[in-house]
Structure 1
Amino acid sequence: MITYSVAQVEALTGIKAHTLRIWERRYDFLQPERTPTNIRYYSDEQLKKLLNFGILVRNGYRVSKLNKMSNEQVYEEVSKVLADPGSERSDEMKGLTLSMLEMNEEDFDDIFERQVIRKGFFRTITETIYPFLQYVGVLWTTNKAMIAQEHFISNLIRQKLIAAIERLSIPSKDAPSIVIFLLEGEEHEIGLLLASFVAKEMGWNVYYLGHGVPIPNIKKIIDIVEPKLLMTMFVTPKIHKVNAFIDEILSGNDVPFAISGSTENLDAVSESERLIKVTSPLDFQTHLARIKNGVTAQD
């Protein structure tokens, strides 16, 4: 059974530890377990219930009323709140987290599609999905979400990105080209797929190589495609190798190279005239526009 400490529940639900103790004394829906040393902890089912209760309480529901409702009734009320155009981003994060914990594709899809209708695909990814992935990192980094749950939600997001890319028009043959790839040892494709979406939407011919690409293969692709830009991401901790990878890719050609990824990896990168550090999807858009308009990377 997966269990959560008071601190973890507080971080994930937004419900303060003091409030949790009050609810435990007053209501029977919340009965934490205790370790032999009398430290409280919560089950997976209790976490899910608290995520739901947190959403409803923030939207004006009384705990005394929720305490008398069935799980099905609580679920219905949460669905109504999340469907409201005025629902807060924190509630969306909690709803997406529940869909991950329960491996519920229908709920994930409902939340995602509502966001796309409200603010478009690009803003949904950058303003909802990216913050969500950072938020549930609390789960992943403490090994509280099963690997299957992580893969489940990541693949749902991946499917959305691929479908959106396929719906875009194919750029003209004389449009600038970009080669997008992940090096060997990198497998986190979501950010790279978003970069592919952004570039194609802006009229670039995208050569998407996927993950695990050997550097000699990249050099061959450069000779064939003659791109105006290369793009990769360093997400996996490999600070001591990043500069060596970059130097090898930059050697023998004059193509600008855009990199993104974890702050630690980017901070470790040495400066270069042809190197572009991308800090966000909006930043990437800016660089693509500049290069497409003939502005060099160092200008």
Structure 2
Amino acid sequence: MANYSIKDLEHLSGIKAHTLRIWEQRYGLINPKRTDTNIRFYDQDDLKLILNVSLLKDNGFKISKIAQMSKEEMHETVLEIADKATSFADQIYGLTLAMIDLDEQRFEKIISSNTLKIGFERTMLNIIYPFLTKIGIMWITDSINPAQEHFISNLIRQKVIVAIDGQYETYDEEAKKYMLFLPEGELHELSLLFANYLIRARGNRVVYLGQNMPFQDLQVAFNAYKPDYLLTIMTTKDRNISTEEYLANLADNFSDTPILVAGSQVIGQDLELKENIVQIANPNHLLEFIEEQQGHSVSR
């Protein structure tokens, strides 16, 4: 079972560590364990408790009332809220608990109900994508283990692939062609798959090369298919070449082609980028770019 620091609980629940300590002292809400060297830590049950407390608090329950609830009462109240939840934050909390518990049934219920209510794309933009951002923070801070991350990522991946399959149709001759790839060493392709879906959903063509693409192979594919745009995502720190140098190579080798680049190693970094590099901060920014190239706005 995973161990968590109070900072981990803060990152995952959004409740400040200072507030958690006050609740601990005033209400005995959680009781930290201690290592053999007397370092405080919290376990997975504590994390689930605080996520449930956060959900109840966000839905109007006072902390004094929450602290008086039994585990069974709290569980039932959270389930009632989850069944009628309309806020995206509540759904994200639900997905977080599904990931921690490796609960596929809860995941399916959240995704299916939201897809029926607001459609797959809005579910991705308003629930899944913010959730993936949260997973990224959890991964960086070692707040989730690889099994939990792989479990939830593969479930989401399956949903996106099914949605992409539903986009195959005859393209207009004037449809733009995008070539999507991840550089060598980049293996997490969920965001790239979602970009694939968004581009196809607006009637454009995609040549999808996937993860870990060697530069030479990218050049061969580019020469064969001559895309209008390249799109890549860079999130991995450890590579043989710096992000800035890699992007400079891309820009020089495909100098007549706009290159769309997203990812934590690019966005918000102080990089010197060449003119044909276009930074894409988030999916909505990508949609704006796609629709601008098509010369009209597509409703969503």
Note whether the superposition's TM-score is higher than 0.5: yes
Judging changes above 3 Å, is the alpha-carbon distance between structure 1 residues 78 and 190 closer, same or farther for their aligned structure 2 residues? same
Q: Check whether the contact 2:33–2:42 (CA below 8 A) recurs between aligned residues.
A: yes
Aligned to 2:274: 272
CA distance in 1, matches of 2:38, 2:246: 51
User: How far apart are 1:164 and its partner, in Å?
Assistant: 0.8
Match of 1:210 in 2: 210
Report the CA distance shift for 1:288/1:42 in structure 2 as closer, same or farther (over 3 A): same
Structure-1-length-normalised TM-score? 0.84
Correspondence 1:21 to 2:25: yes
Aligned pair count reads 286
Contact 2:192 2:232 in 1 (8 A): yes
How big is the shift at 1:107?
Answer: 0.7
- Displacement of 1:184: 0.4
Which residue number corresponds to residue 52 of structure 1?
52
**In the alignment, residue 214 of structure 2 is paired with which amino acid?**
P
* 8 Å CA contact 1:234, 1:260 repeated in 2: yes
Displacement of 1:196 = 0.5
Q: 1:220 to 1:49 in 2, by over 3 A?
A: same
Deviations 1:175-194 (A, max 9, x none): 22110000101112111111
* Per-residue deviation, residues 238-264 of structure 1 (Å, max 9, x unmatched): 696223322333345422211111165
| 1:267 CA drift (Å) | 2.9
1:63 to 54, 62, 66: 66
Match runs of 1:121-270 below 5 Å: 121-172=120-171, 174=173, 175-237=175-237, 241-253=242-254, 254-262=256-264, 264=266, 267-270=269-272
Distance (whole Å) between structure 1 residues aligned to residue 253 and residue 52 of structure 2:
56
Check whether the contact 1:55–1:91 (CA below 8 A) recurs between aligned residues: yes
CA contact (8 A) 2:247 2:273 kept: no
**Aligned equivalents of 1:47, 1:33: Cα separation in 2:** 13
Partner residue in 2 for 1:108: 107
- More displaced, 8-17 or 143-152? 8-17
Distance 2:136 2:99 in 1: 12
Map of 1:297 onto structure 2: none
| Aligned CA distance change for structure 1 residues 242 and 265 (closer, same or farther; 3 Å) | farther
Give the distance between the partners of 1:159 and 1:3, measured in 2 at CA.
Answer: 29
Q: What is the distance in 1 between the residues matched to 2:160 and 2:99?
A: 18
Asked if structure 1 preserves the Cα contact closer than 8 Å seen for 2:251 and 2:274, the reply is no
Matches within 5 A, 1:280-299: 280-293=282-295
1:60 shift after superposition: 4.7
2:132 & 2:145 partners in 1: Cα distance? 15
Distance in 1 of aligned mates of 2:38 and 2:277 = 55
CA distance in 2, matches of 1:40, 1:216: 51
**Aligned partner letter, 2:192:** L
Structure 1 stretches of 5 or more lacking a match?
295-299
Given that 2:234 and 2:266 are in contact with CA atoms closer than 8 Å, whether structure 1 keeps it comes out as no
C-alpha spacing 1:219/1:112, structure 2 compared with 1 (3 Å): same
Paired-residue identity, %: 31
Superposition deviation, residue 282 in structure 1: 1.7
Which amino acid counterpart does residue 209 of structure 1 have in structure 2? L
Contact 1:171 1:204 in 2 (8 A): no
Following the alignment from structure 1 to structure 2, what is the Cα–Cα distance between the partners of residues 179 and 201? Answer: 15
**Contact 1:260/1:266, CA 8 A, preserved across alignment:** no
Q: Rate the CA distance shift 1:60–1:137 in 2: closer, same or farther, 3 A.
A: same
CA contact 2:234–2:262 (8 Å) conserved in 1: yes
TM, length-normalised to structure 2? 0.84
Give the distance between the partners of 1:19 and 1:167, measured in 2 at CA. 49
Deviation (angstroms), 1:209: 0.6
| Aligned position for 1:79 | 79
Q: Which runs of 5+ in 2 are unaligned?
A: none
Task: Return structure 1 stretches of 4+ with deviation > 6 angstroms.
Answer: none
